[in-house]
Amino acid sequence: MIDIEYLRNNPELYIRACTLKRIKLDIPALLEVDAAYRSAKTSVEMRRSESNAFNKQLPNFKGAERDAKLLEMKSFSSITKELEAQLSKIELERNVLLLRVPGIPLNKVPDGASDADNQEVSRVGDIPHFSFKVKSHAELGVDLDIIDTERAVKLAGSRAYFLKGDGARLQHALMNFAIDFVAKKKYVLMDPPHIVRREVMEGTGYFPGGEDQAYRLDERDTDFYLIGTAEVPVAAYHSGETLAAANLPLRYCGYSPCYRREAGTYGKDTAGLYRVHQFYKIEQVIICKNDAEESARLHSELLANSELLLQALGLPYRVVNNCTGDMGQGQIFKNDIETWMPSRNAFGETHSCSTFHDFQARRLNLKYRDADGKTQFCHTLNNTLAASPRLLIPLLEVHQQSDGRVMIPQALRPYMGGQEFIG
C-alpha cells in the first residue's frame, strides 16, 4: 500500500496525480472511508480491551452476580462481533481503494494524455534509406520462410505466429546475446515462475486494473495468472523480507515467456509480429535503497544498458520521456526506447524503463535495514533489455538487402555459427 499517513496529510498531491495519470479515483471519498475505518477500529479495540478486563475480573464474582455478569458480557460480545464484521467490511473497501492510488509523477514528467504527447530526448543512429522497395518483416518472413502466421492463426487464433528455421535461430541468438551482455554487467540471471498468485500481480501494481490484459488459469485455480513480464516474479522475489543495506543495490535479469491478452487493441497491429499474445522478454530489475538520487542513477544505468544493446545490433532508435497519461499507476518516471521500423516508417516502442520509488516495495512489504538499524522500504526499477519477436521487426527490416536477404548483425553471428545472412 501507499503511505497512508502521507496521503492523509497531502491529499492534493494524490488528487493531482490522479488527474495527470487519467485515473478515476475519488481521493476525498477514500479519505472518508479511511476515517470510518479508523473510527470503527478504535471502537472494536476499546471493546476488546473491556472484554479482556472483564475476563480478568470474572474470578472475583460469585453466584448470582457472576451469572448476571456473564449474561451482560454475552450481549456485549454479540455487539462486538457485529462491530468486527462492520470493521472487516470497511477495511476491505478501504484496501480496494488504496490499491488504486497512483504513484506521484516526478516534476520532470511532461503532462499529456497519450504516447502522442511523449517528449523526445535523443536519437541515436542513422535512419536507413533504401534504393529498393522495402519489405515488411511479415513479407520477409514469408519470402525467407522464417515466419508463418497463417498456420499459427489456424491453430491458436489471432496474433499467433510460428518462427521457423533461421527465424527461430535469430530469436535465440538475440536472447543469448542479451543474456551474455547483461551478465558481463554483473546482473544475476533468473528463470522465474511463469505462473503467479494474484497477490504478486497486486504487489507489483498490475492489479487491480490490469485484469483484462492477463490470462487467468481455469476455475479450479482462480488465484493464479500467467505473467506478462518477468518483472512481476523478479520484483517480488524478496517480498516480505528485510534486506541488508550493505547488499543493495540488487541487480537481477529475468528471462521468461510472457502472455498478454492485448485487450482493447482489436483491429490494431493485427498483421505481423508487433502486437502478439505470446513473446519472450529479458527484463532488468533493480532493488535499491530508499534514495531518490540513487534511483535516478540506476534508472540511467538501466537505460544505458538497453541503448548499448541496440547500438551493438546496428539499430537506430530514439529515447522519449513518457508523459503523465502514458505511465502506469505506479510509475513515477518512465522512458521508452523506440526503435526504427521501416515498414511503419516510424519508431516503434521496444523498451520501457521505469522508476517506482517505494510504490511496489510497500505493496510487496520489501524492506531493508539502514545504517541506524531502522527499517526502510526499498526502491524498485526495471527496464526491458530485449523482447522478441518485437525486436525482430527492426532486425529484419533495417538489415534487409536489395537481393532479398537479411544481414545478421556482427554481434549475433557467433550465436548463429558465424552465419552472415538469412536467405
**225, 198 contact by CB (below 8 A):** yes
Contact 187, 251 (CB under 8 A): yes
How far apart, in whole angstroms, are the C-alpha atoms of residue 330 and residue 356? 6
Catalytic residue among 256, 352, 354, 388: 352
Set 159, 169, 251, 260: catalytic member: 260
Active-site option among 139, 231, 283, 349: 349
Q: How far apart are CA 78 and CA 51, in angstroms?
A: 12
What letter does residue 421 receive in the DSSP assignment? E
The grid coordinates of residue 347 equal: 519508431
Backbone angles phi, psi at 313, to 5 degrees: -90, 0
Catalytic-residue membership of 369? no
Task: List, as one string, the DSSP characters of 365-398.
Answer: T-EEE-TTS-EEE-EEEEEEEEEETTTHHHHHHH
**Cβ-contact 332, 101 below 8 angstroms:** no
Contact 217, 211 (CB under 8 A): no
354-to-147, 231, 283, 380, 382 alpha-carbon distances in Å: 32, 11, 11, 9, 5
Residues in Cβ contact with 410 at an 8 Å cutoff, skipping those fewer than 6 apart? 314
The active-site residue, picked from 231, 318, 390, 397, is 390
Active-site residue, from 38, 123, 197, 275: 275
CA dist 397 and 147 (Å) reads 13
* SS3 state at 194: coil
349 catalytic residue (yes or no): yes
169 is catalytic: no
38 is catalytic: no
86 with 122: CB under 8 angstroms? no
For the chain, what is the radius of gyration of the CA atoms?
A: 27
- The H or E element that residue 162 is part of is strand 162-163
Concerning whether 405 is annotated as a catalytic residue, the answer is no
Known catalytic residues are 260, 275, 349, 352, 390
